[in-house]
């Protein structure tokens, strides 16, 4: 059922060229389609018992429409596949190779916004992807969309661009409810020279929880966070082998007590630091271009809000929610471009928990098409 629904949606848009303007350029159709093989094996739970190995085929489809009534205004909407209980994942399992059940065929609105842009500024209101610069999803998952308002100011000098980005948002609890508030601001410096470029960011992300949530786990919807997140990226230009180096640091300055009434918070009150480093070699813009990459991450339990962080590295938690913290591990990836709009990505993740014996191994093979 899930495969049939998403395939039907894909067949409607596959003939469309990427970012296709309609109606004399005022309407633009865009989106992407991904088919994935995913294998999880050799994984232990927190109590040391083994999870069953798991192999499955999954699909993701997203399709959006933007309307530009005038040059400075964009009104947009986008639909995504994925369970409505999950704010982290737009993936649907259409074939479980171990005979387990498939996911329900569900679609959700993950973008619904109005955007105003002018010389050096942008502001949008509604539901949209996080506007804050990031080089990976260890701090914030791209699929965890935000509902609220954003303001961005850009200015240039002779050799660099600067940005100030800020906003106030409702946080998602699944795709149909909200859980807590986010007040955030970020500074971005970007420089691109002939032989090297760099991006530096720093920002403060203040999360205020609410009393009750339906889908979020481990008190993630009720707990407050004061997250300081900074990133550095260096890009070394080379005709055949460009290199990108990255580093990220996250600190949670919220004060938690070992006597906190929430036992999860109390037992992890001092687990508030996260960092990651990465290297990528190559580029994948045209046919047969490639990128080889490696990342190491060390994310303590309360260094991020695990309900809004990435869900790629591990299978911890129930099907519709990922416990995306309390781990250290390695990620290996290889990207091969087949066309400007088509690529294949292979990824291997090897992770261990920081506070328990929980661990796991995951392999993914993705075929991606964007339109």
What residues are paired with 226 via a beta bridge? Answer: 206
* pLDDT for the residue 8: 43
Question: What's the gap between Cα 318 and its chain centre?
Answer: 18
* pLDDT for the residue 10: 45
SS3 assignment, position 353:
strand
* pLDDT for the residue 11: 42
Helix (H) or strand (E) holding 331: strand 327-339
Domains of the chain: 38-57+132-370 (2.40.160)
The token duo for 12 is 């409607």
pLDDT at 208 over 60: yes
Q: How far apart are the C-alpha atoms of 159 and 163, rounded to whole Å?
A: 14
Share the mean pLDDT of the chain.
92
Residues 6+ apart with CB under 8 A from 78: 31, 62, 63, 64, 65, 109, 110, 111, 112
Confidence of residue 17 (pLDDT cuts 50, 70, 90): very low
* Under 8 Å between Cβ of 81 and 106: yes
pLDDT at 3 over 50: no
pLDDT at 18 over 70: no
Q: How far apart are the C-alpha atoms of 79 and 112, rounded to whole Å?
A: 9
Q: How far apart are the C-alpha atoms of 284 and 365, rounded to whole Å?
A: 16
Interval 251-291: pLDDT, tens: 999 999 999 999 999 999 999 999 999 999 998 778 889 99
Interval 41-89: pLDDT, tens: 999 999 999 999 999 999 999 999 999 999 999 999 999 999 999 999 9
Interval 326-341: pLDDT, tens: 999 999 999 999 999 9
pLDDT at 303 over 90: yes
Say if pTM beats, i.e. exceeds, 0.85. yes
Q: How far apart are the C-alpha atoms of 147 and 165, rounded to whole Å?
A: 15
Confidence of residue 128 (pLDDT cuts 50, 70, 90): very high
Q: How many residues does the chain have?
A: 371
Tell which residue, 346, 320, 254, has the closest CA to residue 39: 346
Tell which residue, 137, 189, 139, 144, has the closest CA to residue 169: 144
Interval 245-257: pLDDT, tens: 999 999 999 999 9
Tell which residue, 122, 70, 40, 117, has the closest CA to residue 360: 40
């Amino acid at each position: 059922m899930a495969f049939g629904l998403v395939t039907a949606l894909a067949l409607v848009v596959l003939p469309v060229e990427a970012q296709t303007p309609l109606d004399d350029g005022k309407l633009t159709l865009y989106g992407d389609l991904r088919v994935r093989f995913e294998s999880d094996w050799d994984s232990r739970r927190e109590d040391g018992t083994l999870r069953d190995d798991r192999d499955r085929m999954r699909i993701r489809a997203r399709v959006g429409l933007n309307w530009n009534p005038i040059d400075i205004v964009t009104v947009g909407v986008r639909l995504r596949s994925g369970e409505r209980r999950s704010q982290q994942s737009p993936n649907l399992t259409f074939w479980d190779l171990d005979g387990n059940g498939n996911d329900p065929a569900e679609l959700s609105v993950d973008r619904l916004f109005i955007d105003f842009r002018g010389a050096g500024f942008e502001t949008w209101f509604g539901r949209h992807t996080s506007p804050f610069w990031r080089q990976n999803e260890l701090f914030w998952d791209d699929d965890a969309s935000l509902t609220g308002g954003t303001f961005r100011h850009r200015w240039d000098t002779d050799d660099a661009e600067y940005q100030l980005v800020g906003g106030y948002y409702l946080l998602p609890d699944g795709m149909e409810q909200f859980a807590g508030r986010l007040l955030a601001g970020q500074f971005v410096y970007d420089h691109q020279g002939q032989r090297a470029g760099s991006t530096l960011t720093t920002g403060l992300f203040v999360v205020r929880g609410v009393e009750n949530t339906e889908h979020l786990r481990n008190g993630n919807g009720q707990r407050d966070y004061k997250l300081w997140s900074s990133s550095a990226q260096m890009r070394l230009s080379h005709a055949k082998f460009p290199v990108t180096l990255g580093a990220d640091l996250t600190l949670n300055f919220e004060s938690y007590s070992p006597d906190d009434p929430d036992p999860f918070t109390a037992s992890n009150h001092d687990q508030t630091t996260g960092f990651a480093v990465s290297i990528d070699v190559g580029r994948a813009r045209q046919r047969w271009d490639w990128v080889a990459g490696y990342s190491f991450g060390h994310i303590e339990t309360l260094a991020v809000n695990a309900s809004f962080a990435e869900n790629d590295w591990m299978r911890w938690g129930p099907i519709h929610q990922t416990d995306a913290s309390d781990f250290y591990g390695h990620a290996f990836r290889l990207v091969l471009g087949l066309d400007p709009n088509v690529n294949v990505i292979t990824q291997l993740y090897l992770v261990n928990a920081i506070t328990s014996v929980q661990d796991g191994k995951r392999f993914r093979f993705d075929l991606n098409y964007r339109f």
